[in-house]
Amino acid sequence: YHTHRLDAVVAGYICGDEYVTNGDVPPHTRVGLVLNRTCAYAEAGGQVGDRGEIAWDGKNFLFEQTQRINGAVVHWGATDSDTLTVGSKVVITISLDREDTARHHTATHLLQWALQEVLGKHAHQEGSLVCPDYLRFDFTHPQALTAEELRRVETLVNEKIQEAWPVTAAILPQSQARQLGAMALFSEKYGDEVRVLAIGADHPDTLDVAFSKEFCGGTHVTNTRDIGGFKIIREESVATGVRRITAVTGRAL
């Protein structure tokens, strides 16, 4: 995900319940295009999938959703052209919406850290939604936050943004990641190796100095200053003992 543009080849497409690996892609029909490689993020971990364009010979396939199905990244959309064929060389370009999503995703990690600073270590993530327009973060806490608690949380997050902390990711054995104190979602299943997203470390070899360490496969900014700012717009209950904060960052402020 370090690039927004990539050369690729059409490997096949999903139409209905069939995966087709030869012939023309049907026009005016919603299909799931599969490429031999992609720079698109597939919906996972609460983060929405990327949107963008797959182009060839002056024509394009606009995709509005990206999912992972049986290990393949599937770009859902449609083309008006009947010239796209399996085996065609294409260029995939990701919408700049991803930058806004990345700002919101890194902000969720800062929010998790700030909630534990203000409320205590029991405030643990129960779920999230990260998209270009806002972030939604569910966490364990027995009662509504007071106005002062919300102010303190918001202030702590904005301080970390202004302090311009580096953001680093590293792939580690799960046991090593847990020894570092990286937080994981209890409801998620993880493999032998995990990606750790650390805020406050400038190199994968110095993750232990980071103040925020979480298991995460999503896209993020490289420095907290890139988030721009953070504003809580709503705090509410979603279940017994579970609260939800909705907030915005960057261009959504």
Q: Is a pLDDT exceeding 90 seen at residue 7?
A: yes
Residue 103 is predicted with a pLDDT of 98
Task: Please tell me the distance from the alpha carbon of residue 135 to that of residue 131, in angstroms, as a whole number.
Answer: 6
Q: Is a pLDDT exceeding 70 seen at residue 98?
A: yes
Q: Using alpha carbons only, what angle is made at residue 236 by residues 232 and 240, rounded to the nearest 5 degrees? A: 140
Q: Rounded to two decimals, what is the model's pTM?
A: 0.94
**DSSP class per residue in 146-165:** PHHHHHHHHHHHHHHHHTT-
Residue 190 is predicted with a pLDDT of 86
Tokens 């409801």 belong to residue: 187
Q: Provide the 8-state DSSP code for 97.
A: H
**What is the pLDDT of the chain when averaged over all its residues?**
95
Q: Which residues of 48-78 are buried (b: 16+ CB within 10 A; e: fewer)?
A: bbbbbbbebeeebbebebbbeeeebbbbbbb
**Residues 27, 28, 32, 33: what is their CA dihedral angle, to the nearest 10 degrees?**
30
| Mean pLDDT calculated for residue range 99-119 | 98
Residue 186 is predicted with a pLDDT of 62
pLDDT class of 187 with cuts at 50, 70, 90: low
Q: Is a pLDDT exceeding 90 seen at residue 247?
A: yes
pLDDT class of 25 with cuts at 50, 70, 90: very high
Residue 189 is predicted with a pLDDT of 77
Out of 23-27, 80-84, 159-163, 177-181, least confident range: 80-84
Determine contact, residues 139/243, Cβ cutoff 8 Å: yes
pLDDT class of 185 with cuts at 50, 70, 90: confident
| Mean pLDDT calculated for residue range 196-225 | 96
